[in-house]
Structure 1
Amino acid sequence: MLYPAPMSEGISAGYLRSLEAIRGIGALAIVLYHLDDRLGLPFYFDNFYIGVDLFFVLSGFIIFHVYGGRIEDRAGYARFLWLRVARIYPLHFVTLVAFVAFQALTIEIGGSLAASIEPLFAHNDIWSFLANLAVIHALNLLDGPSFNVPSWSISTELYTYVVFGALFWVGLIRPDRPFAVPILIAIGGFALMAARTPSFNAMHDLGFIRNMVGFALGIAARGLHGLLPRPTTRTLTVLQIAAIAMLLVVLAVPGRSAPYLNYTVPLACAVLILACSHDRGGFCPILLLAPLQWLGRISYALYLTHYMLVLIVSALYVAAVQHGVITGKAWQPWVLIPVIIAITLPVAHATHVWVELPARTFLRQWGRLLPSAASPRT
């Protein structure tokens, strides 16, 4: 979850609530992206992968907001990493084991239903399982995405914490130095990506660089927030509209028609997050609505549990069409959007309450054995 900054920093207790909702919207976009990947929805869903870049930028903004200037020694760095592991690893482990069981059951059942899913298991072997277990599966060590595919970003996120936590520790990035190093990292990352691929949508191969770019821009956005005077609501609204317009352009243009266009996505996400971070402006009243706040709270569970459900629902749909169980023009793939939402959201909520939160609390208690260091909850 996202937590407000201490009041001593001059930020209201309501700070970050809009960002919580944005994270939920990003997770829902990824659900629809994977449904599109299986069934072929209207073309603009092809680019809903930008929800991941929204996560990366938001993560940099929040982590710098909470930890920037507070990791001052080895104990602080160790505790920071432990708290991040406690935040992301338990649910990754549970969904990995669940996917192994799902794969075994699918192969055992066989038939036409399994035939449409089994090709997705091509990279799932003992080595990729161990890589997933060690959370190194998205560090360009495997030939393709494996097991619970969305977890590639969890792998890159963990090692992004390692890098940036170290930069906080040695003082290269501090509240009074929020720009130089992050901007250099972002420029270098953009250059490395552009030299390898015209698309910014990298995963198991260049995903770590993609994550570093977004995280760095999130830090820069948080630094800019601290330097700017209190903006007017009108200014925030203009920035929100501009950022959303930039993202809509990316969604509206097929990637093959405009190579490198999606390189603008992390920049647009940084502008959007900066513009919404005051909980004011044209779109914030919507973001502050209770359903979107709830969506933000369950977003991590939604992100890691949806993929298996999408595979099952899409395979059932394909089988039903092939066997004539459902016919007619009304049964287009897009009708599954409300179905998959109705299934994934309750599962995510239950997972968040019964798995994610208890596991995180348990690991945090073990973290008390580490040397104490000032590190607020995130």
Structure 2
Amino acid sequence: MQYEKRYIQSHCGLRGIAAALVVSYHLQFGANYLFHFESATPFFKRGYLWVDLFFILSGFIISFTTVTVDEKFTKNEIARFFRQRFARIYPLHLFCLLYLVSALGIIALLQNAIGSKVNDPHWTSDGAVSLLTEVILIHAWGFGHNVAWNIPSWSISAEVFAYLLFPALYAAGKHPWARAVMVAGSVLLFSWIAITSGDLDIISGAAPLRCLAGFIIGMEIYRARNVFGAMSDSVSSAVQIGAALAIFALLLVPANDVLLIIPFALLVGCTWHDKGAIAKILASRPLQWLGDLSYSIYLNHVCVIQILWFFWGRLTAKFNFPEPESRLAWIVIVYCTTLLISHFTYRYIEKPARRALSRRVISAEPKPH
């Protein structure tokens, strides 16, 4: 079987930008002071919407890298798909959860040792149930409690739901009527959200449906990729710039969240061939590096924030650090620590796990007779 193997630099860069902006979103939580650029518009407060870009990217990339050129998806290929998805998401997820639980446990023990009351909901029965559901990645399906450990992992849980359905979705998508039904389902879900609340910040319960709707759009963009690929460089540039401007304009005002889905989808579609002005920027070395680390950044940053804040919050209170210097220092510390840890988790957790699973997949494939 031959597979489309070309690496899409633009999508790597998009992942890096989205991950970095999700960090800025979580840096808003519990902040007593914000810079004017952080609070003047809803841009940073609506950082949860970058996850919807991840969902669309995921639907496209998984279709692009998994499906054979002759459009067949055999049982062996389905098994390969699930092994590869497991290797891609689970080792880092488990590692982050382990070091977060360990660090919070040590902090709780230290508090007990000095006679300070531990008032942390993680160490309750609800926290234990939530931890179990996070370990097996079903906490976004409505099975978890109100205690979150590594908050961003909800979207990984939602993506697992989409992965489980992907073989069936792809097989059904070969039929025009089934494709129409799937796309209509996504449009109906987004329309219902747009009409009822306009808020896509759904991280449990219906979260898998939020993911699935974006994922299906990504799959459909993959099927229509040749339409985008046929665009000239100038047309690609115009569409890319228009989509990027629309994204930023919609984030700068309190617009309906669902409106972002359209420019997100356009940006994914018109950059996949790595042509155009925005594509060239996304292919730059710094954004490629950021994109390589994007999954590690995404899963590490809230762990970093939770652990460091225990010490930073007490330090700033004790010495009465002034603002805005304290805020600036906190932002720099979080980003630098997250990038440093992410460099090592990408190199020593993500890449080795993928290589190990790839070797296992190859050795498990049936040999020709």
- What TM bracket, shorter-length normalisation? 0.7 to 0.9
Corresponding residue of 1:110: 111
Corresponding residue of 2:50: 51
What SS class does the counterpart of residue 89 from structure 2 fall into? helix
Distance 1:98 1:71, change over 3 A: farther
Query: Partner letter of residue 240 of structure 2?
Result: Q
1:23-57 Cα deviation digits (max 9, x unpaired): 11111111111111232641321111222111111
2:273 is the counterpart of 1:278: yes
What SS class does the counterpart of residue 46 from structure 1 fall into? coil
Query: Partner letter of residue 337 of structure 1?
Result: I
Distance 1:123 1:341, change over 3 A: farther
Corresponding residue of 2:17: 25
For normalisation by structure 2, the TM-score amounts to: 0.86
Q: Report the count of equivalent residues.
A: 354
Name the CA distance, whole Å, in 2 between partners of 1:217 and 1:130. Answer: 31
Given that 1:117 and 1:315 are in contact with CA atoms closer than 8 Å, whether structure 2 keeps it comes out as no
Shift of residue 205, structure 1, vs aligned partner: 2.3
Given that 1:64 and 1:219 are in contact with CA atoms closer than 8 Å, whether structure 2 keeps it comes out as yes
Query: Partner letter of residue 85 of structure 1?
Result: F
2:313 is the counterpart of 1:318: yes
Shift of residue 153, structure 1, vs aligned partner: 0.8
- 1:280-319 to 2 correspondences below 5 Å: 280-319=275-314
Corresponding residue of 2:324: 330
Given that 1:83 and 1:364 are in contact with CA atoms closer than 8 Å, whether structure 2 keeps it comes out as yes
Given that 1:90 and 1:360 are in contact with CA atoms closer than 8 Å, whether structure 2 keeps it comes out as no
Shift of residue 322, structure 1, vs aligned partner: 2.1
- Please, which of 336, 339, 349 is the counterpart of residue 343 of structure 2? 349
Name the CA distance, whole Å, in 2 between partners of 1:277 and 1:202. Answer: 28
Shift of residue 332, structure 1, vs aligned partner: 5.1
Name the CA distance, whole Å, in 2 between partners of 1:115 and 1:251. Answer: 41
Query: Partner letter of residue 118 of structure 1?
Result: D
Given that 2:228 and 2:269 are in contact with CA atoms closer than 8 Å, whether structure 1 keeps it comes out as no
Query: Partner letter of residue 47 of structure 2?
Result: F
2:199 is the counterpart of 1:199: yes
What SS class does the counterpart of residue 231 from structure 1 fall into? coil
Name the CA distance, whole Å, in 2 between partners of 1:211 and 1:143. Answer: 20
- Please, which of 332, 354, 361 is the counterpart of residue 367 of structure 1? 361
For normalisation by structure 1, the TM-score amounts to: 0.84
Name the CA distance, whole Å, in 2 between partners of 1:185 and 1:149. Answer: 28
Name the CA distance, whole Å, in 2 between partners of 1:89 and 1:266. Answer: 27
Given that 1:18 and 1:279 are in contact with CA atoms closer than 8 Å, whether structure 2 keeps it comes out as yes
Distance 1:167 1:179, change over 3 A: closer
- 1:242-261 to 2 correspondences below 5 Å: 242-254=242-254, 258=255, 261=256
Name the CA distance, whole Å, in 1 between partners of 2:298 and 2:229. Answer: 35
What SS class does the counterpart of residue 345 from structure 1 fall into? helix
Corresponding residue of 1:5: 4
2:78 is the counterpart of 1:77: yes
Name the CA distance, whole Å, in 1 between partners of 2:118 and 2:49. Answer: 26
Given that 1:199 and 1:263 are in contact with CA atoms closer than 8 Å, whether structure 2 keeps it comes out as yes
Query: Partner letter of residue 262 of structure 2?
Result: L
Corresponding residue of 1:67: 66
Distance 1:248 1:116, change over 3 A: farther
Name the CA distance, whole Å, in 2 between partners of 1:180 and 1:226. Answer: 19
Name the CA distance, whole Å, in 2 between partners of 1:123 and 1:240. Answer: 49
Unaligned 5+ segments in structure 1 are 7-12, 374-378
Given that 1:16 and 1:279 are in contact with CA atoms closer than 8 Å, whether structure 2 keeps it comes out as yes
Distance 1:336 1:16, change over 3 A: same
Query: Partner letter of residue 105 of structure 1?
Result: I
1:270-320 Cα deviation digits (max 9, x unpaired): 111112222222222221111111111111111111111122344444323
What SS class does the counterpart of residue 110 from structure 1 fall into? helix
Given that 1:31 and 1:306 are in contact with CA atoms closer than 8 Å, whether structure 2 keeps it comes out as yes
Distance 1:336 1:117, change over 3 A: farther
Shift of residue 247, structure 1, vs aligned partner: 1.6
Query: Partner letter of residue 224 of structure 2?
Result: L
1:121-144 Cα deviation digits (max 9, x unpaired): 778522222211211111011233
1:37-83 Cα deviation digits (max 9, x unpaired): 23264132111122211111111111111223555333322221121
Corresponding residue of 2:102: 101
Shift of residue 99, structure 1, vs aligned partner: 1.7
Name the CA distance, whole Å, in 1 between partners of 2:345 and 2:213. Answer: 30
Shift of residue 371, structure 1, vs aligned partner: 4.7
Deviates more, 1:179-188 or 1:189-198: 189-198
Shift of residue 353, structure 1, vs aligned partner: 0.6
Distance 1:175 1:319, change over 3 A: farther
Query: Partner letter of residue 92 of structure 2?
Result: L
Query: Partner letter of residue 183 of structure 2?
Result: I
